[in-house]
Structure 1
Amino acid sequence: MDPAGTNTNLHSVKEKTKAKQRYLKKKKERRKLKPKQRSDDKQDKEKNDEDVMEVDIEEANTTTPSDNQKNPRKRTLAEAEVTVDDEEMIEIEEPLARSRTPELQGALPSFPLPALPDAPSKSLLAFQGLDQALVGAELVSPSTILPIPTEKDDGGTRLSERMRKRLRDLGITELFAVQTALLPFLLPEDEQAKGLYLPFSPPRDVCVSAPTGSGKTLAYVLPIIEALSSRIVTRLRALIVLPTRDLVAQVRETIETLSKGTKLKIGTATGQHSFAHEQSQLIQDQTSDLLGGSSKIDILICTPGRLIDHITGTPNFSLQHLRFLVIDEADRLLAQSFQDWLSQVLAATRPHSKNLSERPPSTAMGEILGALGSYPLNNIVPDGIAPAFLHRLVTPTNSFFLEPKSFSCQKLLFSATLTRDPGKITALELKNPKYFIVQSSGEKKTADSAVLDVVMEKFSMPSTLKEHMIVCSSTQKPLVFFHLVHHFDVKNALVFTKSAESTTRLVRLFDFFESERAKNLGFEPIVVRSYSSDLPVNERKSILEMFKNQRIHILVCSDLISRGIDISHVSHVVSYDVPVDMRKYVHRVGRTARAGRDGDAWTLVEEQEARYFKQMLKGADHFERVKRIRLSEKDLAPLLPHYEVALNQLKDAYSRQS
């Protein structure tokens, strides 16, 4: 090989690689102009790439002919690389560089990745949409009591001497927490605020959340009787709406007992009697068209369905004179949409504007005088329109008619599980409502935490209530119930099932079991009866009386009487079928441990229901209160022979029926 030719080639290589060096120099300058947000890892990688490239260039500059001869492929690549013109090299490499890292002037700004906002707390979500008055609710300790004094001073009860004496005669010597809070609020000391009608300073509405058995019925019955005792003319001034007929009968009995000697007239409307019979008991005059209505009673206790029947179908049935509108078991009643009963009741509290405007002018003054208690003028018969609506009859000529007036009806809502639905509360059209909450016992809570418990449906329970649960298979559940009755002496008990059919079947099986056991062991059988909506009203009333007199030891029923019914001697409540939600559980167990008495609640939970039941309790922060009792086969063995005989007898009885 010609040495001169070799030198010429080496010189050419050195000259050609200068283009590479210029390219790398420009590449470094472009890198300096790149955004500074590059990661450190990427910078390190690019630096390593530069070092490798420089090493390759040096190797190319120092390549000897012998090396090219040893590695022809490498030589060919090197020659191809160095024979590229400077401009061609830049044109090839620069588009690639631009595609990898755009220059600063044409680059888009860098934005952080989107992130989800923090979710609001459950407590914040629970309070959204609620009346702000609920946040300022008055907290009442369940241990608060107020003795009823024997002297003339009312002792802070605001009750009249006659009422205090009546309560003592009935064995009631002290007021419970909910009563001590409500009586001073509903019976103010100001004599002017005690009037029947307060058109210029209407009273505030009241919402009460308190445990079952805490005395809510007495809390509204006492103020109603005290306020209406001074009435002269009979008008329908108190309306009490309840969910069931049995509860209506119980409240009527309470009012009749406490109002003895006041001449107040009490009526009921439940559908137990014919519609015509109820009309004759409620309305004085059904033939005339009277704007003020016509009433034979001062207090009406009713169910919502029958109430709507009278509003729409009974002439001269009017609610415009109402002073009190009580909705007991409010959560259940507000959940009922039957005939849109609530809006119809609120509309009935006001006389229709059309009827007022069409009234003949000649009778206007007579109606005013009649409403104000004066005598008829020029043989004009007044029809007693409520004072709050007098200004709508005639053209105002006196400042009395020009002064703004409001309806004097005061709404009182009571429930152990007060509704938290803002829409339903809004539908009540509450006036500056005042909330009272009886907090759960055994814990010191702030007002905010107590309100949160109500809103989040963490229900209050009586402190004297003991709660138990037994998990068993579905086939063993009747046997477990029989063991519960005999081993734990469960008598004076209410047993709740899921349906009227389940009630009948369980009672028949228990009767067969008790007969077999009494025949073999000589024990006196336990008397068990069913109580469900399938029974006639008179029979249900008779059974309830026998249970109250303890001639029936166990009453098996559906959820018909799980709300409000007060039977003083009930010491046990058994949920034979698991309640479908926490509200039903609260109202079931609330039939015992009432008015400070002790009580036990038992729930029989089938194995496939255990998870749901535990989650329900945990969701209400109540799981720790319920003690689990475990039973073994050994515990149930003594009752098994009698149970098998009773089960066969039940199968035979049903097969004969079919």
Structure 2
Amino acid sequence: MSEAAELEKHSKNELFDKSTTFADLGLSEDVVTGLTASGFEHPTGIQAALIPPVMAGKDVIGQAKTGTGKTAAFGLPVLSMCDPNIRAQGLVLAPTRELAAQVAGELDSLGRATNIRTSVIIGGESMRDQKKSMEKGGHLIVGTPGRVMDLHARGQLSFNHIRYMILDEVDRMLDIGFLEDIRKILKNIPAAIDKPVTEGGRQTIFVSATMDVQIERLARSFMKKDAEKITTVSGSLTVAMVDQKYLPVEPWDKRALLLKLLVKEKPETTVVFCKTKATCRKVAEYLKKKELNVRELHGDLHQSKRNKVMEAFRKEKVDVLIASDLAARGLDVDHITHVINYDLPEDPEIYIHRIGRTARAGRRGHAWTFVTPEQGQMLTDVEKMAGAEITKMEFPDFKPGPVPKDVQEERRTGVKRRDKPRDVGDREVAGGFDAAAGYTEDELKAMFPDGKIPKNLPPKGLGSKFKRRGR
């Protein structure tokens, strides 16, 4: 047996707890019946560890690698404990619309043999349809904080019967952008955290792939004092089934290198992660012009468009998905073979989440990361987080392009321009403002129809005669 086959067999053995079955975990008969009919017998490690304390009514913090079944870990016990006669008794918060929709679909699938139904509450979709969904069932509400707060403020979503409160991907949910929303939601839930569910209290569950000390401390402030932490991550957070490589590249050569990789290596299904929405758009446009089967996924797309992109990607009608981190949060597609980090993230935990999009359920995966000369320390930080050395990928077929003139000048004089690097398409200009760089003649005509292309950044103030009010 090859080394890769041995590793895959070992990973699958680690993933599932063969010493127990779902029937041993105290789940309801209907839930077990549905799991058996679907061919599930043995739980994963996080499921075997987390389900019993949740069934016992404890508040739980669960941490496990991406792709190990965390949704089922909290979903199965909640489905087992829910009362089919009470609506909106469980609330699951997710950081993105895509993850919320995905979790809702998985809960409905897990509970197919029960009378418990899920309603998904997210922005970009019809409030009227979501209200009807809650009226027809809505035992479990899965949503993003903004839409949940909105419907609650309108009197269309009551928190009075919520007994099960779950935060998925808690590390991102408790980021600055979500923290206050979560506080408001939790404060508006009447059920007390210091009482058990059987006495009208609230049970709280937090799950995530990564969690530092500060995040855990914050999570515990929302939970009972005896909240239990369960982790199946031993030592490092590396996704063991992912072959991790890096490719050194200058910023202005990234798109050419990406194209060469995709054409030469022919990865089956690939997600390319970019740092910004603008970069996602430009990279996708560039690859489409090269006749590659590419779609983009980022926050600037309307929700209906994002849904169509995800549907096509899941049905394997798209070879390459160019995505931002937030839009791809919770991207759970089994057939992803490669992840390419077009931009190396500054936060090593984001890297862990990204590469976890491949190697799902014990399959092998590949992660290729572009690293610019000044990002050596960032790569080292990622290696520390991953607990593994990321080796250099030799790619002699790629020939770097010429160094841009402004970079040559900077290197010659040793004087850096004041402004930060700015992505302008084919290359990143180190400082300054070069509106024409990286754009085609047609693109420039569309942006500047009068033919006057600016050579300097606009002034900070635009000369408005109106004074701003103090805030």
TM-score range normalised by the length of the shorter chain: 0.7 to 0.9
**1:626 maps to what in 2?**
390
CA contact (8 A) 2:237 2:386 kept: no
Q: SS at the partner of 2:24?
A: coil
**2:377 maps to what in 1?**
612
From 343, 362, 366, the equivalent of 2:183 is 343
Counterpart AA for 1:300? I
**1:512 maps to what in 2?**
289
From 31, 43, 59, the equivalent of 1:205 is 59
Counterpart AA for 2:17? L
1:4-48 superposed Cα distances (whole Å, 9 cap, x missing partner): xxxxxxxxxxxxxxxxxxxxxxxxxxxxxxxxxxxxxxxxxxxxx
1:90-135 superposed Cα distances (whole Å, 9 cap, x missing partner): xxxxxxxxxxxxxxxxxxxxxxxxxxxxxxxxxxxxxxxxxxxxxx
How far apart are 1:556 and its partner, in Å?
0.7
Q: CA RMSD in A?
A: 3.1
1:578-603 superposed Cα distances (whole Å, 9 cap, x missing partner): 11211111111110112111111111
**1:224 maps to what in 2?**
78
Quote the Cα distance in structure 2 between the aligned partners of 1:327 and 1:498.
25
From 321, 325, 334, the equivalent of 1:559 is 325
Equivalent residue runs for 1:583-598 within 5 Å: 583-598=349-364
Counterpart AA for 2:96? T
Q: SS at the partner of 2:362?
A: coil
- After TM superposition, the score normalised by the length of structure 1 is 0.56
From 124, 136, 146, the equivalent of 2:17 is 146
User: Do the aligned partners of residues 527 and 301 (structure 1) sit closer, same or farther apart at CA in structure 2, a change above 3 Å counting?
Assistant: same
Counterpart AA for 2:164? F
**1:427 maps to what in 2?**
221
Does residue 186 in structure 1 map to residue 40 in structure 2? no
Quote the Cα distance in structure 1 between the aligned partners of 2:35 and 2:18.
11
From 328, 337, 342, the equivalent of 1:576 is 342
Q: SS at the partner of 1:620?
A: helix
Does residue 483 in structure 1 map to residue 260 in structure 2? yes
Which 10-residue stretch deviates more, 547-556 or 342-351?
A: 342-351
How far apart are 1:161 and its partner, in Å?
4.5
**1:326 maps to what in 2?**
166
**1:113 maps to what in 2?**
none
**1:531 maps to what in 2?**
297
CA contact (8 A) 1:148 1:154 kept: no
CA contact (8 A) 1:154 1:160 kept: no
Does residue 471 in structure 1 map to residue 248 in structure 2? yes
Equivalent residue runs for 1:80-95 within 5 Å: none
Q: SS at the partner of 1:567?
A: coil
How far apart are 1:301 and its partner, in Å?
0.4
How far apart are 1:564 and its partner, in Å?
1.8
Q: SS at the partner of 1:146?
A: coil
Counting matched residue pairs gives: 400
CA contact (8 A) 1:248 1:302 kept: yes
Counterpart AA for 2:380? Q
1:273-292 superposed Cα distances (whole Å, 9 cap, x missing partner): 344554454469xxxxxxxx
**2:433 maps to what in 1?**
none
Quote the Cα distance in structure 2 between the aligned partners of 1:580 and 1:639.
26
**1:270 maps to what in 2?**
122
- After TM superposition, the score normalised by the length of structure 2 is 0.77
**2:150 maps to what in 1?**
309
Q: SS at the partner of 1:174?
A: coil
Quote the Cα distance in structure 2 between the aligned partners of 1:267 and 1:572.
32
Equivalent residue runs for 1:376-391 within 5 Å: none
Could you tell me which runs of 5 or more consecutive residues in structure 2 were left unpaired when the two chains were aligned.
1-11, 403-425, 428-436, 448-471
CA contact (8 A) 2:61 2:229 kept: yes
Quote the Cα distance in structure 2 between the aligned partners of 1:426 and 1:162.
32
Q: SS at the partner of 2:271?
A: strand
User: Do the aligned partners of residues 335 and 407 (structure 1) sit closer, same or farther apart at CA in structure 2, a change above 3 Å counting?
Assistant: farther
Quote the Cα distance in structure 2 between the aligned partners of 1:143 and 1:166.
24
How far apart are 1:548 and its partner, in Å?
1.3
Counterpart AA for 1:305? G
Equivalent residue runs for 1:452-463 within 5 Å: 459-463=236-240
Counterpart AA for 2:138? I
User: Do the aligned partners of residues 213 and 501 (structure 1) sit closer, same or farther apart at CA in structure 2, a change above 3 Å counting?
Assistant: same
User: Do the aligned partners of residues 487 and 176 (structure 1) sit closer, same or farther apart at CA in structure 2, a change above 3 Å counting?
Assistant: same
Counterpart AA for 1:156? D
How far apart are 1:489 and its partner, in Å?
2.2
**1:238 maps to what in 2?**
90
1:39-89 superposed Cα distances (whole Å, 9 cap, x missing partner): xxxxxxxxxxxxxxxxxxxxxxxxxxxxxxxxxxxxxxxxxxxxxxxxxxx
Structure of higher CA gyration radius? 1
How far apart are 1:307 and its partner, in Å?
1.7
Does residue 408 in structure 1 map to residue 170 in structure 2? no
How far apart are 1:409 and its partner, in Å?
1.5
Quote the Cα distance in structure 2 between the aligned partners of 1:144 and 1:470.
30
Does residue 300 in structure 1 map to residue 64 in structure 2? no
CA contact (8 A) 1:509 1:650 kept: no
1:294-316 superposed Cα distances (whole Å, 9 cap, x missing partner): xx52110011112222333316x
Aligned-pair identity (%): 25
**2:276 maps to what in 1?**
499
Quote the Cα distance in structure 1 between the aligned partners of 2:144 and 2:159.
15
Could you tell me which runs of 5 or more consecutive residues in structure 1 were left unpaired when the two chains were aligned.
1-140, 189-202, 285-295, 353-387, 390-404, 441-449, 451-458, 515-525, 641-645
CA contact (8 A) 2:270 2:339 kept: yes
Quote the Cα distance in structure 2 between the aligned partners of 1:283 and 1:351.
22
User: Do the aligned partners of residues 351 and 544 (structure 1) sit closer, same or farther apart at CA in structure 2, a change above 3 Å counting?
Assistant: closer
User: Do the aligned partners of residues 241 and 625 (structure 1) sit closer, same or farther apart at CA in structure 2, a change above 3 Å counting?
Assistant: same
Counterpart AA for 1:631? F
How far apart are 1:177 and its partner, in Å?
0.8
